[in-house]
Amino acid sequence: MGPGRCVRTKRAKAACNNLFMVDNGGEALGIYISIPFCRSKCTYCNFASGVHPAADHAHYVERLVEDLLWARTLSKGRGVELTRRVDTVYLGGGTPSLLAPDLLVLLFNSIRSEFDLDPDAEITMECAPGQMADATLEAMAAMGVNRVSLGVQSFVDWEAHASGRLHSRTVVESDLGRLRSAGIANLNVDLIAGLAGQTFASWEESLDGVIDSGVPHASVYMLEVDQKSRLGREMLEGGARYRADLVPSEEAIARMYERAIERLGSAGLIQYEISNFSRLGFESNHNLRYWRRRPYLGIGLDASSMLALHAAAVRNGAGDQARPSDVLRLTTTDVLKEYLAGPAAPEITRLSPARQFEEAWFLGLRMNEGVDIDALRQEFGAAKVAPAMKTVERLVDDGLLAAEGAHVRLTSRGRLFSNDVFQEFLEVVDPDQGSEDSFTASQAQLAWKLESAMNEV
Ligand code: SF4
């Protein structure tokens, strides 16, 4: 359903063991848990989620618990010291609110037995409107869930139904009220610009819905068209099922997105990332972790982890000798049967400094705060940053980037062409890094995958 999904890169060609010692330097971890169960499959959905019997839910949670315990043991076996401190937890994937209360309690008890959650840790759960039983809501509050992301997508009933959603605007409003009554006021609402049949008038109605609801956070995604969703496939084949012929044009979707920035901003929901808007202090700490390249542990189906050797860059004196941390990315299977069958080694990729440099650009540029050039020089060295600054100058001239002091950020025009901008910061793989970095995806594929994982809804 959501924005909290881990960055996923599935093209690692080789798993490897005992790569090197990893420790997160005492920096708190974020934990992402994938719950891939939904009551129905939305037409636009390109996640590894599906409709599965309740028996699978119980079995799946058993496997999650096993993996939570396994994570530390496995890490230790590889010389990895996983910190116990956690400051964000995110349950996403499909619809975690479908889990029975006793399964939620079992899951949270396991997290808390393996990790020490900060007293003010942000604990988010994705929920679907109308799919959150009273007992589930009680269990959520009791387990410390303090943030909920509601997959609304549209406040216009026929539009939501045509996309496979099962709720109405009345249900959304009622659920927001129930969550607030349960003490969960840090609420996010997801919207999609580009749903089949959507018009400028209906988009205004959805923006009204978000603003009138008073939520402190909203995520606005532009429809993705790819082979992984039913709607995407139909569009690519030129068909009309799922009202594919009524999907607004790219230009119209871009105008809807710009209108969202304008209207949400006027209502106090300030854009802080390409797809995310919040009142001050209500930014998603868990998602900021991905864009700021802070460590996270992903558990469950199709989940990724990112763990670093040191929290800060390792410096050897002069700026040009700086080198970034060693970083591992681990990715689990996206096939439910395989996941349920028992623990399996995740794909492991060691990200070369060159790859990390690229990610620092295209993840950093997603945020309105942009890329901090001084921090980049400190982490990667001035010599590495210098050629990229030539690209920055060119893109500033093109009106796609703005450079203010030591920060470089996307302009509003740059946000519309963000993929093209990110592409500019991809470089040819450094041959010296080839043996360390086991990606087989091309640079462009990698950028696309990271970008689409971030944008998935
Ligand atoms: S969009 Fe969300 S609710 Fe809909 S099928 Fe995908 S994961 Fe499930």
- Decide: 47 in ligand 1 pocket, CB within 6 A: yes
- Decide: 49 in ligand 1 pocket, CB within 6 A: yes
Query: Nearest 5°: phi and psi at 116?
Result: -100, 110
Degrees, nearest 5: CA angle 390-391-394? 90
What is the percentage of the chain residues whose pLDDT exceeds 90? 72
Query: Nearest 5°: phi and psi at 40?
Result: -150, 165
Q: Measured from the CA of 153, which atom of ligand 1 is nearest?
A: 1
What is the 46 CA–ligand 1 centroid distance (Å)? 8
Q: Measured from the CA of 165, which atom of ligand 1 is nearest?
A: 4
- Decide: 381 in ligand 1 pocket, CB within 6 A: no
- Decide: 41 in ligand 1 pocket, CB within 6 A: yes
What is the 51 CA–ligand 1 centroid distance (Å)? 10
426 or 334: which leads in pLDDT: 334
Q: For residue range 150-166, what is the model confidence (pLDDT) as tens digits? A: 999 999 999 999 998 88
What is the 156 CA–ligand 1 centroid distance (Å)? 18
What is the 313 CA–ligand 1 centroid distance (Å)? 38
Average pLDDT over residues 90-94: 94
Q: For residue range 237-284, what is the model confidence (pLDDT) as tens digits? A: 999 999 999 999 999 999 999 999 999 999 999 999 999 999 999 999
Asked if domains 22-289 and 355-428 share a fold, the reply is no
pLDDT classification of 344: cutoffs 50, 70, 90: confident
What is the 316 CA–ligand 1 centroid distance (Å)? 47
pLDDT classification of 395: cutoffs 50, 70, 90: very high
Q: Whose CA is nearest to atom 2 of ligand 1?
A: 1
Degrees, nearest 5: CA angle 10-8-371? 130
pLDDT at 457 over 50: no
Domain boundaries, the chain: 22-289, 355-428
What is the 42 CA–ligand 1 centroid distance (Å)? 6
pLDDT value at position 25?
Answer: 52
What is the 351 CA–ligand 1 centroid distance (Å)? 30
SS3 257: helix
Q: For residue range 436-454, what is the model confidence (pLDDT) as tens digits? A: 333 323 333 333 333 444 4
Token output for 229: 């969703």
Give the whole-angstrom CA distance, residue 408 versus residue 208: 32
Q: Whose CA is nearest to atom 6 of ligand 1?
A: 45
What is the 124 CA–ligand 1 centroid distance (Å)? 17
- In 233-333, the DSSP E strands lie at 270-273, 276-278, 296-299, 304-308, 327-331
Q: Measured from the CA of 38, which atom of ligand 1 is nearest?
A: 8
> Highest-confidence range of 35-44, 308-317, 424-433, by mean pLDDT?
35-44
Q: For the domain bounded by 355-428, which CATH number is listed?
A: 1.10.10.920
Residue of 35, 44, 45 to test ligand 1 pocket, by largest number of atoms within 8 Å of CB: 45
pLDDT classification of 48: cutoffs 50, 70, 90: confident
429 or 286: which leads in pLDDT: 286
- Decide: 34 in ligand 1 pocket, CB within 6 A: no
Give the CA dihedral 437, 418, 324, 74, nearest 10 degrees. -50
pLDDT classification of 3: cutoffs 50, 70, 90: very low
Question: Which of 27-41, 71-85, 268-282 comes out lowest in average pLDDT?
Answer: 71-85
- Decide: 45 in ligand 1 pocket, CB within 6 A: yes
What is the 41 CA–ligand 1 centroid distance (Å)? 6
Query: Nearest 5°: phi and psi at 296?
Result: -145, 155
pLDDT at 224 over 60: yes
- Decide: 231 in ligand 1 pocket, CB within 6 A: no
What is the 154 CA–ligand 1 centroid distance (Å)? 13
pLDDT at 27 over 90: no
Q: Whose CA is nearest to atom 4 of ligand 1?
A: 42
Give the whole-angstrom CA distance, residue 246 versus residue 254: 16
pLDDT classification of 16: cutoffs 50, 70, 90: very low
What is the 78 CA–ligand 1 centroid distance (Å)? 35
Say if CB 64 and CB 299 are below 8 A apart: yes
Token output for 215: 């939520």
- Decide: 95 in ligand 1 pocket, CB within 6 A: yes
SS3 410: strand
Q: For the domain bounded by 22-289, which CATH number is listed?
A: 3.20.20.70
pLDDT value at position 324?
Answer: 63
Predicted model pTM: 0.87
- Decide: 151 in ligand 1 pocket, CB within 6 A: yes
| Cα 255 off chain centre by | 24
